[in-house]
């Protein structure tokens, strides 16, 4: 039960009704008997600047999770960024310091890696395709590179966005072989949909059907879309015999990184996630 003394964490985006983070966070706060609550804030784009400015002066706000379409706008306006969120020019989590400064990080990629490890996928030495070079696609691609992927293909209908992410990753990770687009999925151990395609029961696929016919049955197929829980892409992959990873799994797996960064859950070190990915010794 929310009280006058309750400290708040927000999740900010538009639309917002579909997000699952409030249920995940609030179940955790309740279980731990913390006087904390996550609220969902649906903010109109023209007023986002007021929202960010207010957060500096909102004394009982501990921080926020940032979702579509504001990951880039928050990164451009807050007061401090982690190295990876500065490189990606996007944040998905913001902590309010006691003096009101807002600092951000991008942990979508760590949630993704932790969820994928549950499906026996480890990045080191493998080959992957990430479809969608926006905020979450960039974060997943960046984390795969940090975790030692050997070869990474990027694909986005916005060519400029695809090329800009590829250039950024090429500079930061010279050891990774980067491809722009692909003609077949036959080489990939992992194929990720990081676009909104398939959301809301449209039945759409994020890749052409003929390309999907080359998806290997021993690959992991992953989606960031949370509704429906199993997207048309994941249904097709499952029918081919692939392991599948849902958007909800990724959302749950990054809970500890979001809460740890904001300071409302025990601290976690993203570097430990990467260490778990790499071969021992």
Interface residues with a copy of itself (CB under 8 A)? 1-6, 8, 11, 14, 16-23, 26-27, 30, 37-44, 46-48, 50-51, 53-54, 56-61, 100
Separation of alpha carbons 272 and 113, rounded Å: 11
Exposed / middle / buried, residue 241 (Cβ in 10 Å: 0-12, 13-18, 19+)? exposed
Question: Which secondary-structure segment (H or E) carries 103?
Answer: strand 102-105
Between 51 and 234, name the residue whose CB sits nearer to a copy of itself: 51
Between 28 and 164, name the residue whose CB sits nearer to a copy of itself: 28
Between 6 and 72, name the residue whose CB sits nearer to a copy of itself: 6
The CB-of-281 to a copy of itself minimum distance in angstroms stands at 44
DSSP 279: P
The CB-of-171 to a copy of itself minimum distance in angstroms stands at 37
Between 1 and 175, name the residue whose CB sits nearer to a copy of itself: 1
Between 49 and 181, name the residue whose CB sits nearer to a copy of itself: 49
Q: What is the side-by-side order of every strand in the sheet holding 61-66?
A: 7-13, 61-66, 93-96, 102-105, 80-81
Separation of alpha carbons 152 and 238, rounded Å: 22
Beta strand spans in 132-227 (E): 151-155, 177-180, 190-193, 220-223
Between 56 and 240, name the residue whose CB sits nearer to a copy of itself: 56
For helices 159-172 and 135-146, what crossing angle results, to 10°? 30
The CB-of-19 to a copy of itself minimum distance in angstroms stands at 4
- From the CB of residue 210, how many other CB atoms can be counted at a distance below 10 Å? 8
Residues 258, 264, 265, CA angle at the centre, nearest 5°?
70
First to last CA, the chain: 49
The CB-of-108 to a copy of itself minimum distance in angstroms stands at 17
Joined tokens for residue 148: 């030692």
Exposed / middle / buried, residue 128 (Cβ in 10 Å: 0-12, 13-18, 19+)? buried
| Nearest of 52, 115, 106 to residue 81 by alpha carbon | 106
The CB-of-60 to a copy of itself minimum distance in angstroms stands at 4
The CB-of-250 to a copy of itself minimum distance in angstroms stands at 16
Which amino acids are annotated catalytic? 71
């Amino acid at each position: 039960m929310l009280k006058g003394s309750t400290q708040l964490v927000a999740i900010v985006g538009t639309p917002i009704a579909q997000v699952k983070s409030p249920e995940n966070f609030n179940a955790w706060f309740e279980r731990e008997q913390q006087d904390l609550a996550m609220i969902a804030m649906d903010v109109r784009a023209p007023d986002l600047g007021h929202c960010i400015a207010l957060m500096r002066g909102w004394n009982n706000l501990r921080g926020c999770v940032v979702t579509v379409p504001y990951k880039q706008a928050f990164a451009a306006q807050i007061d401090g960024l982690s190295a990876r969120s500065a490189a990606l020019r996007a944040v998905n989590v913001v902590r309010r310091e006691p003096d009101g400064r807002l600092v951000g990080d991008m942990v979508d990629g760590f949630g993704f890696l932790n969820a994928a490890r549950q499906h026996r996928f480890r990045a080191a030495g493998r080959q992957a395709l990430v479809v969608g070079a926006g905020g979450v696609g960039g974060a997943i691609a960046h984390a795969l590179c940090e975790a030692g992927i050997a070869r990474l293909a990027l694909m986005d209908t916005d060519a400029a966005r695809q090329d800009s992410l590829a250039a950024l990753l090429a500079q930061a990770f010279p050891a990774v072989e980067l491809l722009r687009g692909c003609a077949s999925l036959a080489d990939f151990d992992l194929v990720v949909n990081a676009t909104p395609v398939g959301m809301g029961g449209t039945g759409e696929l994020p890749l052409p059907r003929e390309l999907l016919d080359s998806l290997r049955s021993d690959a992991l197929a992953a989606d960031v879309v949370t509704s429906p829980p199993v997207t048309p892409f994941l249904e097709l992959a499952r029918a081919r015999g692939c392991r599948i990873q849902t958007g909800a799994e990724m959302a749950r797996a990054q809970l500890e990184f979001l809460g740890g960064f904001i300071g409302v859950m025990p601290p976690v070190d993203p570097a430990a996630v990467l260490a778990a990915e790499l071969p021992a010794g």
